[in-house]
A and B are shown apart, each in its own frame.
Chain A
Amino acid sequence: EVQLLESGGGLVQPGGSLRLSCVASGFTFSSYAMNWVRQAPGKGLEWVSAISGSGGTAYYADSVKGRFTISRDNSKNTLYLLMNSLRDEDTAVFYCAKNGRSGTFYNYFDFWGQGTLVTVSS
């Protein structure tokens, strides 16, 4: 059974940093690209970042480019999102999501974690 468990969310002041983690199980982690998707309170889904199975290629939404860094440790089956220079508008639930097919970057997301809440406020 596929499981994705996020952690690391919390309250942080504007300009601060936070690192999110997502521990995966139930599938061959290194074979799948992974993603972060966020949802601000009462708002829709926003794709944030994606990383290839090897970790060698990453993409970012324009809204976070230069501030967020996605990475993964395939030996620990863990996905990360390092968030720097946080802004009020980054307040959201952050979900990690697994690609539906192995070996391809451009794919739908077939499993989602439960999410972790990031609140940016002074």
Chain B
Amino acid sequence: DIQMTQSPSSLSASVGDRVTITCRASQGITNYLAWYQQKPGKVPKLLIYTASTLQSGVPSRFSGSGSGTDFTLTISSLQPEDVATYYCQKYNSAPWTFGQGTKVEIK
């Protein structure tokens, strides 16, 4: 099975900072990659799919890039409401594996 590895596991940044989270697949998945945001105590929410397509209603400060095995989620200007854990997920084949998550906090 393809493994999904995120880095870092956690980060602390200041409001207004640019934040980048990396997701690496153990084998190529073309662009079958989604990103989810889960705020504390809340349900996961789809942010990005096909590696770079922003889900409707998601602020434009979020962006995704990559293909093959290496992907990134970028928050261009971190806001207090972005405090959450972010997960990548592959969906090119079963199993639909998630990364272990990256917890984002405000410094």
Residues of A near any B CB (own CB < 8 A): 35, 37, 44-47, 50, 59, 61-62, 95, 100, 106-110, 112-115
Contacts and interface: CB of A to CB of B under 8 A. Distances in A.
A50 B95 CA distance: 9
Nearest to B49: A108
Interface stretch (B14-22, B67-75, B84-92): B84-92
Q: Looking at chain B, what size class is its interface with the partner chain?
A: 20 to 34
Contacts of A59: 94-95
Given A106-B91, A109-B46, A112-B43, A47 B96 contact: yes
B95 A112 contact: no
A43 to B, nearest CB: 9
B49 A95 contact: no
Given A45-B101, A106-B92, A95 B44 contact: yes
B100 interface: yes
